Amino acid sequence: MSVAALQTTDDPLDELAALADAADVPAIARDAREVAERLDERRFFTAIVGQFKRGKSTLINALVGERLLPTGVAPVTSVVTIVRHGRTGRARVHLGDGAEVVPIERLADYVAEAGNPENARGVRAVECFVASPLLDRGLCLVDTPGLGSVLGGNTAETRAFLPHVDAAVLVTGIDPPINADELGLLQQLVAQGVEEIAVVLNKADRHSPDERREARVFTERVLAERVPGRTVTLLETSALDAGALDGPALRARLLQLAHEQGADLIERARQRETAQLAARLRRHLDERRAALLRPIDESERRAAELVRFAATAEQAVTELRHLFDAEHERLARRLDAARRAFLERAAPAADAALAGARGSRAELLAAAQVAVEPLVLAWRHELRPEVEQDFTAAATRFVGLADELLTTFRASPHAPDGLPDRLDVDTELRPTSRFHFLAYMTESSPGLAVRVVDRLRSERGARRAAQRAGAAFARRLLETNASRVVGDYLERAVESRRGVEARVRQALASLSDSAVDAIDRARAAHAAGAAAVAAELARVDDQLAALDAATAPASQP
C-alpha cells in the first residue's frame, strides 16, 4: 500500500487500521477501529481500579442504580467490563475477532471468576449497557479485576488495560487502608498522564467515625508522600448505597467530568491511543524487516533458539519453585519459633494483667480478652517487617535467577531484538491480610449451668473459679490467635509466591511472539526466491514509510 493510498482520512486511527490490515496484523487493525469507534461516539473510560474485594463492582452497581455486575465473597471479576449507556438488559461479549450479544442474566458466565475461571473463554472485554443518566454524556465506568488476588492472570488483565484509561477511581478501604499494590497502580496512572483521579475509601459505612478519620489521615499522608505535588480527590463511600457518605459527591464529580471535561479527555485519548498502536505496529514491521535481511539459515537457527528458549524458560520457572519451597519452609519454622517465644513472654504478661482483676466469671472472661488482644496485635505488627523482608528477599532471588536466564538468552546471536535488561516483576508481599482477632464471643459468656454452679459456691470460691476461668481463657486466646497470625502470614506468602511465578512465566513467554511471526514470514519469502524476498522487503519499507506519514505531526501553517 502506498503512502498516498493511506491518506484518505483525517483520523490517524483509521489510517493505522488500514495500514495494519495491509500489513496483515489483524489484532492492531481491530484495536484501532474499536478505539476510533469509541472516540467518534464521544465515549471515554473511567476505570474503577483497586485491590480485589474492595467492592468495585458493587460500587458501580450503586452508581448506575442497577444490579448489573456480579458480586460475591470470593474474587469475582476476571475480565475487564465496560459499563456504558444503552438499552438496559443486554451485554456485548468480545471473543477473539467477533462479538456476541447476551442477556444481562448471563453476564457472570463471562466476567465472573466462577463462570469464567482465569478467563478460560478468552474474553477480550465485555460491554454492559444500562440506561443511566450518569452515562448519557459518554462516560463509561470500567470494572477491572482486582489486584493482589491469588489469580495472577486477573492482575495482568488490569495492568494490560491501564494504558487505555482516561480517568480513574481508585477504590481502597479503611480496614485495611491503601496498600502497596494500590499505591503502585496510582503512581503508574499518574506517570502515564492520567490527570483525573479520585481515591475512595469504600465500605466506610461499616466503620466508626474515629476509624474513618484515622484511615483518612493515613491515606492523605501516604498520598502526599508517594504522589507529591498531585492533588487527589479523597472521598468516603458505601459499596451498597451511592447516597450515603460522600457517594453523592462522587456521582457529582463523575457528572462534572462528563459534562465539562469529556472533550479534552477524548482528544487526549486519541493522541495516546494513536501513539501506542503506531508503536506496536512499528515493532512488528521492524522485526519483519530484520528477518528478511538475515540469511535464511540464520533465521532458522533463530527460530530454533526461540523455541528452545520458550521451553527452557518454562522448565526453569518450574525448577525455581524449589527455591520458594525451601524459603517457605524456612519461614514457617521461623514463625513457629517466634510464636513459641511470644507465648512464653505473653502468657505471664496476661496473667499479670488479670492478677488484680475482680468480678464475675463473665467480667473476668471479658478482662482476659481486653488483656490479650493488644498483646497479639502488637506482636503481629512486630513480625510484619521481618516477614515482608524475608519474602521480598526470596522473591528477588527468584526473579533474579529468571533475569540471569534472560541475560544468557540476550547474549545469543539469535535472540529477538529489544529484549529488556530485566523482568519488571513486583517482589513484595502483596495480598491483603485477612487476620482478625478471634474473640470466641459465644464462649466468653458463661452458660446457664456454669452460672448456677457459681451461685452455689462461696464468694471466695466463686472468685477463684472466675480467676481460673479468666486465666485459662487468656491462654486459649493467646495460643489460638498467635497461630492465626502465623497462618495469615504464611497464606499471604503462598499467594504472593503464586503471583510472582505467574508474572515471571507470562513475561518470559511474551518476549518472542512478534519475532516468531517475522521468522515464519521470512522463511516463506526465502522459499519463494530472491525476487519474493525483495518484493516483501519493499512492501515492508513502504508500510514503514506510510506509518511515518500517518503519525507525523501536522505541519504548522
3-class secondary structure for 315-370? HHHHHHHHHHHHHHHHHHHHHHHHHHHHHHHHHHHHHHHHHCCCCCHHHHHHHHHH
Which parts of the chain register pLDDT below 50?
1-8, 73-75, 148-154, 442-444, 448-450, 452-453, 555-557
Question: What's the CATH superfamily of 43-245?
Answer: P-loop containing nucleotide triphosphate hydrolases (3.40.50.300)
DSSP string, 102-132: EEGGGTHHHHBTTTSGGGTT-EEEEEEEE--
Instruction: Give residue limits of the domains in the chain.
Output: 43-245, 296-511
Angle at 8 between CA 6 and CA 12, to 5 degrees: 70
Q: What is the signed CA dihedral for 405, 407, 413, 418, rounded to 10 degrees?
A: 110
The helix, strand and coil proportions of the chain, stated in percent and rounded to the nearest 5, come to: 65, 10, 25
Give the cell for residue 147: 489486584
526-547: string of b/e by CB count within 10 Å (b at 16+)? beeeeeebeebbebbebbbebb
pTM (2 d.p.): 0.62
The per-residue pLDDT for 538 is: 94
d(CA 358, CA 463): 7
d(CA 126, CA 108): 11
The per-residue pLDDT for 557 is: 42
Unique residue bearing C-alpha cell 496483515: 24
The per-residue pLDDT for 77 is: 65
Contact 207/187 with Cβ under 8 angstroms?
A: no
Contact 148/51 with Cβ under 8 angstroms?
A: yes
Contact 239/204 with Cβ under 8 angstroms?
A: no
d(CA 64, CA 67): 8
d(CA 141, CA 541): 41
Q: Is the dihedral of CA 391, 393, 395, 397 positive or negative?
A: negative
For the chain, the maximum distance between any two Cα atoms, rounded to a whole number of angstroms, is 109
